[in-house]
Structure 1
């Protein structure tokens, strides 16, 4: 469902809310805390979403929508098929690098936010599959089963998203995506 049209003031408030939540997480905030930190009324927050849970979900969706736009902009500027996978995953890593551990942990514990992250992870895995298939078709990658490589990437991306990679080997989500980019590109290169 597309986001409702927002006034300039609401759009600014949503941006500030996203910046706050990304930096500090959201589980410990009440609506009163958010209104105070954002210097607005609770009524103003309710204009963005009806409950704190809906507000958090909307902020998480907004963050990932912006991140996806930034990633796709980088891909659009990359012509070489062999570079597109690297650029895609590296740019995903850059986008994730701004997320605090508190935000990532809160997303993992809050089902509506986790669902948004999971949906974006699935979309990213599909995008990797497509980029690999394009690279194979263009002769930039050796003949590989793009769907299989995409599934391996998707499984790893899910483990990253769930925090399992970080817990086991100590990489941030961003660092893990950088390593995944390197692994995939080297695995499929001629």
Structure 2
């Protein structure tokens, strides 16, 4: 009896190592695309530009996202998700309820240094990314409110309208990101958030 060979057996098979390598390559390309978009904005950047600068084919780039718009959304979501996770790790490591607000705001300032005014302008001018920005701004305001309430319960902050204070912080964050507050004061983003932290802690202090 003659043995037969199934033609499907001749097809190259993707090993686990190959799949991991491919996933790692895509992750690295996405990270590099994120750096470009955060630095330069996305309105003037084309997929052709990105493919050339990343040293990959357009087919590979489109494997990250089917359209430029989807790539921009992925980058924007990743920026806020990764920034929030890093900030929360720093807050969790701070035992003093008074200082957690300062740590939180310093983390926001650090995250903001990753993106340019060009990216901010593009982000707020494009409705899909503007929605992501608004949701994260609301989350930031809510988080500051929680930190204020934690301080009140711990007895280190006096009872105040936490919602009002949190919204003031949200407005200040937006003004720093847009550059309006920095242009008016001559402060850097880091200095602005340091001053904001001092104002909050001094104004909320129960002592």
Pairwise TM-score range, normalised by the shorter structure: 0.7 to 0.9
CA shift digits 1:126-160 (9 cap, x unpaired)? 10000000001001112222222222223333444
Answer yes or no: is 1:118 the counterpart of 2:128.
no
TM superposition score normalised by structure 2: 0.80
Task: Using the TM superposition, give the Cα deviation of residue 122 of structure 1 relative to its aligned residue in structure 2, in angstroms.
Answer: 1.1
CA–CA separation in structure 2 for the residues paired with 1:178 and 1:86: 7
- Which residue of 78, 100, 121 maps to 1:105? 121
CA shift digits 1:72-117 (9 cap, x unpaired)? 1101101110010010011111111222222222223222222222
1:70 matched residue in structure 2: 86
Q: Structure 2: 5+ residue runs without aligned partners?
A: 1-21
CA–CA separation in structure 2 for the residues paired with 1:131 and 1:121: 15
CA–CA separation in structure 1 for the residues paired with 2:69 and 2:184: 30
Answer yes or no: is 1:128 the counterpart of 2:144.
yes
- Which residue of 71, 89, 98 maps to 1:82? 98
2:5 matched residue in structure 1: none
Q: Structure 1: 5+ residue runs without aligned partners?
A: 1-5
Contact 1:75 1:88 in 2 (8 A): yes
Answer yes or no: is 1:56 the counterpart of 2:72.
yes
Task: Using the TM superposition, give the Cα deviation of residue 186 of structure 1 relative to its aligned residue in structure 2, in angstroms.
Answer: 1.7
Task: Using the TM superposition, give the Cα deviation of residue 60 of structure 1 relative to its aligned residue in structure 2, in angstroms.
Answer: 1.1
Contact 1:121 1:154 in 2 (8 A): yes
Q: Evaluate the alpha carbon distance shift between residue 81 and residue 7 of structure 1 in structure 2; reply closer, same or farther with a 3 A threshold.
A: same
Q: How many aligned residue pairs are there? A: 185
Answer yes or no: is 1:154 the counterpart of 2:170.
yes
TM superposition score normalised by structure 1: 0.86
Q: Evaluate the alpha carbon distance shift between residue 104 and residue 57 of structure 1 in structure 2; reply closer, same or farther with a 3 A threshold.
A: same
CA–CA separation in structure 2 for the residues paired with 1:110 and 1:165: 22
CA–CA separation in structure 1 for the residues paired with 2:181 and 2:60: 39
Task: Using the TM superposition, give the Cα deviation of residue 178 of structure 1 relative to its aligned residue in structure 2, in angstroms.
Answer: 3.3
